[in-house]
């Protein structure tokens, strides 16, 4: 099964790609199975995600998942992000081919780690 048009769109035109210099929450995640890596940057004010960006080295599905995860994060509260599941990220991409679902885990886990990092910094 091939990637959906939505996955390819996010892969070819990633939203919010790049380093965020003034991030106050940063999360790193690696997929031990393939070695792909992702870093999620968040700028959080008053418990709301103002901006989100990412850097990643990975397969098309993982890049697309990072892209869509940053879009999902913007404007949400940190509590909402903490309630976001790995499946929610895969669903936002319209699903992934069997065998590639694990690729969306990278983005979801990096996003959660970025929120944890923010909580650590601000406690
Ligand atoms: Fe590594 Fe997709 S193959 S995250």
Ligand 1 atom 2 nearest Cα = 103
The proportion of the chain whose per-residue pLDDT surpasses 70, expressed as a percent, equals: 99
Q: How many whole angstroms separate alpha carbon 39 and alpha carbon 3?
A: 23
Q: Which H/E stretch holds residue 73?
A: helix 60-73
The pTM of this model reads: 0.95
**pLDDT for position 102:** 86
| CB count in 10 Å sphere of residue 27 | 22
Looking from the CA of 34 toward its CB, the CA atoms found within 13 Å total: 15
Is residue 5 predicted with pLDDT exceeding 90?
Answer: yes
Over residues 41-69, the pLDDT tens digits come to: 999 999 999 999 999 999 999 999 999 99
Per the annotation, the verdict on 34 as an active-site residue is yes
Residue 61 Cβ contacting ligand 1 at under 6 Å = yes
Residue 64 Cβ contacting ligand 1 at under 6 Å = no
If you count DSSP H runs as helices and E runs as strands, how many of each does the chain have, helices first? 5, 3
């Amino acid at each position: 099964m091939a990637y959906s048009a939505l996955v390819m769109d996010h892969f070819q035109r990633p939203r919010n790609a790049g380093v965020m210099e003034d991030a106050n929450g940063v999360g790193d995640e690696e997929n031990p199975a393939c070695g792909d890596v992702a870093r999620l940057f968040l700028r959080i004010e008053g418990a709301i995600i103002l901006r989100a960006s990412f850097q990643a080295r990975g397969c098309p599905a993982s890049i697309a998942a990072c892209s869509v995860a940053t879009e999902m994060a913007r404007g949400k509260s940190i509590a909402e992000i903490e309630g976001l599941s790995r499946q929610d990220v895969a669903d936002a991409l319209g699903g992934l081919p069997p065998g590639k679902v694990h690729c969306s885990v990278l983005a979801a886990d990096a996003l959660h780690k970025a929120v944890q990092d923010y909580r650590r910094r601000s406690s």
